[in-house]
Amino acid sequence: MSDEMQQESVDIASAALEKSFVFERVLLQGTLHPRACGNTGIIPTEQQSRNTAAILRIEKTAVPLTAAADLPVYLREAQCVEHTDIYMWFAAWLAPSSFEDLPQGDVKVNVICPATEAHIRKYSPQNYTILHETPQMYRDIVAPFIASLPPERTKWVQDILDGRKEQSKVLFSSSAFLILPDMKWDLHTLSSLYLVAIVRDASIRSLRDLRIEHLPLLKDIRKEAARVSQEKWGIEAGGLRMFIHYHPTYYHFHVHIVHSGYDGGLGMRVGQAHLLDDVISLLELDTGNPTPLFERRTLVYSLGEQHGLYEALRRAQDE
């Protein structure tokens, strides 16, 4: 490991200690280059272009870090568990003896590489502001922004839907949607269970696009998520929380499915996370109006100043 990467590792580990062992880090100078899945783990490479950015996110799953020196150890011991084109996660162990006791790893390492400007913005330190997105603001600002996003941003989603990636992980598949574990989950710790249902209809980009005619789809997602979780892990009724992000990380409609006791931090805060049950109830009440409910609602949420929509929405709200 080069001196530069060693220092980067120390800085990352120090940040972990300050954030209770859950942290994110944008690597702007150099990167960690993940090899193919297997036992080879994560290695630094001097040949990697310094113009290529990576985002490293490390989560505590069992054993906390006790010193900055731990980080290089478990990076050397990391093993790739799953990956798409740019999203990868690794199980990592602090000691050889940990593998037998903790197949999920002492820690979970998430890597986004190469990271786009949008990824770097998302994981950079930033302030958040409460915004009131009116229907007019959506039509004038948000809808054009979503339409301008290049298809490459969701290529990894389409690869999953088309059967080119992660097929061994799919828990349910139909002509309308599929369910599979989210990369936030280590695939072992039931209390942090995290699945995602991805809809095949690419015309549904976000919560704003939902209509009464989507009720059967949403109810099927709710039903199948509950069935899969009960059959595979014994989770009974009331043991799941299902929600929809607005704004989502990627604008291809999906539903988050987590254990009811899981605390997912900012991603589950009021405003950004809309309970699937509430969305279904609102759509069931949306009768007799030619304009769909989520098209005419003002949505209130907090948005980070690094988000691509922030400046325009902030100006529009202040006018």
Catalytic residue among 83, 254, 259, 307: 254
Asked if 254 and 197 count as a contact pair (C-beta separation under 8 A), the reply is yes
Residue 251 is assigned to a ligand binding site:
yes
Q: How far is CA 107 from the centre of its chain?
A: 17
Residue 307 is assigned to a ligand binding site:
no
Residue 184 is assigned to a ligand binding site:
yes
SS3 content of the chain, % helix, strand, coil (to 5): 35, 25, 40
Please name the residue that has the structure tokens 């990576």: 54
Query: What value, to the nearest 5°, has the Cα angle with vertex 117 and ends 249 and 310?
Result: 60
Residue 249 is assigned to a ligand binding site:
yes
Burial 247-257 (b: 16+ CB within 10 A, else e): beebbbbbbbb
Residue 246 is assigned to a ligand binding site:
yes
3-class state of residue 70 by DSSP:
helix
Query: What value, to the nearest 5°, has the Cα angle with vertex 193 and ends 220 and 177?
Result: 25
> Strand ranges (DSSP E) for the chain?
22-27, 32-34, 42-44, 54-60, 79-83, 87-92, 107-112, 128-133, 172-173, 177-181, 194-199, 240-245, 254-259, 273-275, 299-304
Neighbours of 178 (CB within 10 A): 22
Residue 253 is assigned to a ligand binding site:
yes
Residue 194 is assigned to a ligand binding site:
no
Residue 156 is assigned to a ligand binding site:
yes
Residue 83 is assigned to a ligand binding site:
no
Residue 166 is assigned to a ligand binding site:
yes
Alpha-carbon span 317 to 134, nearest angstrom: 9
Q: What CA–CA distances, in Å, run from 237 to 90, 132, 228, 229?
A: 31, 34, 12, 10
Q: Would you call 132 a catalytic residue per the annotation?
A: no
Alpha-carbon span 212 to 195, nearest angstrom: 25
Alpha-carbon span 20 to 271, nearest angstrom: 25
Residue 245 is assigned to a ligand binding site:
yes
Residues assigned a catalytic role: 254
Which residue ranges make up the annotated binding site for substrate? 156, 166, 182, 184, 245-256
Which residue ranges make up the annotated binding site? 156, 166, 182, 184, 245-256
